[in-house]
């Protein structure tokens, strides 16, 4: 009797939770390493004599590098396997962040942040592909979304280090201690199973019957842009661009917005950012249950519209509710809660694309969209000259609304079964 694949189990077992834990931990430190820079903008700028535009350029470049990393490691993940590439990406972003602590000038800091971005871009798609392929269909949404809870936890950790630790040990030491996530690789190498769906797909590809076909077959990227998948990929890329724009127009300068325009001391702005990430944690944790219950499309719309409302209130409507700090905190929580819609990407992409190109599609769409955000920090800085940082950040609400509308161009995929042989 054939041993069932992990995604054919009736309910998650020990191996599932190992995959979830390591993918989640990789995502926590992935986001921590990427976002730590935003909480260290002021001390870095002061020591290295960098302007806001130069700092925005560095941040934008690291986001652009995630696009390249997503494409490269998405392809390698489909070719070499999920486990090996997960290890590589964690090592790369950890080393990039560690080297950032040595940067004596703009040029080297830029190079080190690009290295970080390359690793960050590859880790997400690898982890989400891992989970999407191995978890049973009926719970795929909730566990894919649970992995995304690593994002608010990573940001909250970056806020704590940037707000409370950096003033004590300095920004360089904060980067040095960020080499610790590389320790995860040891545990991944020793205990994590490979995706059995990927293994089975490789076995099929090595059979004589398919070997001849392989000589004539298209590459992963060509298959991705074939008539069968081209439309889905373009729809996915646009969705990711809208959603990423909503996210990065919000977070790239949000700590600076609280400190520079709202005159918050560092400790207070850090606390308020943590409140936002508590909202994010609640949003990511609940999104999967909502999407498994109502479907992928309704869940996306609900959460993106919640984010848009929160953004409008903490930017354009700040003065109107400034007398009620608790109300502002509520809407900060709302902003974070709405970002829970990112919890839908892994399950949605896993259900849209076949095993052969799943990670390539996921990594390319998600990270090309993040790469477009190269312009976001600079745009906010330029808009802020006339309208303040609140004007630049408020643009995120528009993109959140577009996300909630665009998701309805997709087919509903809730509960879809995945198969090794699919092409």
Domain extents for the chain?
Answer: 10-191+220-409
In this prediction, residues 75-101 reach a mean pLDDT of 88
CA 142 distance to own-chain centroid? 16
Mean pLDDT of 274-278: 92
Reported as a single tens digit per residue, the pLDDT across 106-160 is 999 999 999 999 998 888 778 878 888 888 888 888 888 888 888 889 888 998 9
- Tell me: the pLDDT tens digits for 333-351? 999 999 999 888 888 888 8
Answer yes or no: is pLDDT of 242 > 90.
yes
Task: Supply the CATH classification number for the domain 10-191+220-409.
Answer: 1.20.1250.20
Higher pLDDT among residues 48 and 212, named by residue? 48
Q: What is the pLDDT of residue 216?
A: 42
- pTM, two decimal places: 0.77
Instruction: Please compute the mean of the pLDDT values over residues 3-23 and round it to a whole number.
Output: 85
Q: Report the alpha-carbon distance of residue 341 to residue 310 in Å, rounded.
A: 14
Q: How confident is the model at residue 238 (pLDDT cuts 50, 70, 90)?
A: very high
Indicate the pLDDT class of residue 219, thresholds 50, 70 and 90. Answer: low
Q: pLDDT, tens digit, for every residue of 355-413?
A: 788 888 887 888 788 888 888 877 887 887 788 888 888 999 999 999 999 999 999 98
Judged against a pLDDT cut of 90, whether residue 260 lies above it is answered with: no
Higher pLDDT, 175 or 38: 175
The phi and psi torsions of 265 (rounded to 5 degrees) equal -65, 160
Q: What pLDDT does residue 214 have?
A: 47
The C-alpha atoms of residue 339 and residue 284 are separated, in whole angstroms, by 7
Please, which pLDDT band fits residue 207 given cuts at 50, 70 and 90?
low
% of the chain exceeding 90 in pLDDT: 33
How many C-alpha atoms does 283 have within 13 Å on its Cβ side?
A: 31
Q: How far apart are CA 421 and CA 306, in angstroms?
A: 39
pLDDT one-digit tens code per residue, 51-75:
888 988 898 898 889 888 888 888 8
Mean pLDDT across the chain, nearest whole number?
Answer: 85
Q: What b-and-e string marks burial along 190-209, b requiring 16 or more CB atoms within 10 Å of the CB?
A: eebbebbbbeebbeeeeeee
Which pLDDT does position 215 carry in this prediction? 44
Whose structure tokens read 């004590």? Answer: 168
CA angle 150, 153, 158 (to 5 degrees): 120
Rg (CA), the chain: 21
Cβ-proximal residues to 140 (8 Å cutoff; 6+ apart), any chain: 7, 131, 132, 292, 347, 350, 351
> What distance in Å separates the CA atoms of residue 93 and residue 66, rounded to the nearest whole number?
10
Query: Does the pLDDT of residue 212 top 60, yes or no?
Result: no
What is the rounded CA–CA span in Å between residue 90 and residue 181? 7
Give the pLDDT of residue 105: 95
pLDDT classification of 206: cutoffs 50, 70, 90:
low
């Amino acid at each position: 009797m054939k041993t069932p694949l992990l995604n054919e189990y009736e309910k998650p077992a020990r191996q599932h939770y190992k995959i979830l834990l390591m993918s989640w931990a990789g995502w926590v430190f992935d986001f921590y390493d990427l976002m730590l820079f935003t909480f260290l903008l002021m001390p870095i700028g002061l020591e290295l004599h960098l302007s806001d535009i130069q700092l925005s350029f560095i941040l934008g470049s690291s986001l652009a590098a995630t696009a390249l990393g997503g494409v490269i490691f998405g392809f390698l993940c489909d070719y070499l396997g999920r486990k090996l590439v997960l290890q590589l990406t964690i090592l790369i972003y950890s080393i990039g962040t560690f080297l950032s602590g040595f940067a004596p000038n703009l040029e080297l800091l830029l190079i080190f942040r690009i290295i970080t971005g390359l690793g960050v871009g590859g880790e997400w798609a690898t982890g989400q592909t891992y989970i999407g392929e191995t978890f049973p269909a009926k719970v795929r949404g909730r566990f894919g979304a649970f992995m995304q809870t690593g994002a608010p936890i990573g940001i909250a950790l970056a806020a704590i280090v940037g707000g409370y630790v950096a003033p004590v040990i300095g920004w360089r030491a904060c980067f040095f201690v960020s080499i610790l996530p590389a320790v995860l690789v040891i545990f991944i190498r020793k205990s994590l199973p490979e995706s059995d769906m990927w293994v089975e797909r490789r076995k099929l590809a090595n059979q004589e019957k398919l070997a001849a076909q392989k000589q004539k077959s298209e590459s992963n990227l060509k298959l991705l842009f074939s008539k069968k998948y081209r439309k889905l990929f373009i729809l996915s890329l646009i969705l990711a661009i809208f959603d990423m724009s909503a996210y990065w127009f919000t977070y790239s300068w949000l700590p600076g917005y609280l400190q520079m325009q709202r005159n918050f001391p560092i400790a207070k702005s850090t606390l308020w950012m943590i409140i936002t990430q508590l909202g994010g944690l609640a949003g990511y944790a609940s999104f999967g249950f909502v999407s498994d219950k109502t479907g992928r499309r309704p869940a996306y719309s609900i959460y993106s519209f919640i984010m848009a409302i929160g953004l409008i209130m903490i930017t354009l409507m700040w003065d109107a509710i400034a007398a009620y700090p608790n109300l502002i905190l509520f809407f900060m929580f709302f902003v974070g809660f709405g970002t829970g819609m990112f919890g839908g990407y892994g399950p949605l992409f896993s259900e849209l694309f076949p095993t052969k190109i799943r990670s390539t599609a996921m990594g390319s769409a998600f990270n090309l969209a993040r790469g477009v955000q190269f312009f976001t920090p600079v745009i906010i800085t330029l808009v802020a000259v006339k309208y303040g940082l609140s004007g630049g950040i408020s643009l995120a609400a528009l993109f959140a609304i577009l996300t909630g509308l665009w998701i309805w161009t997709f087919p509903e995929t809730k509960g879809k079964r995945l198969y090794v042989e699919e092409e």
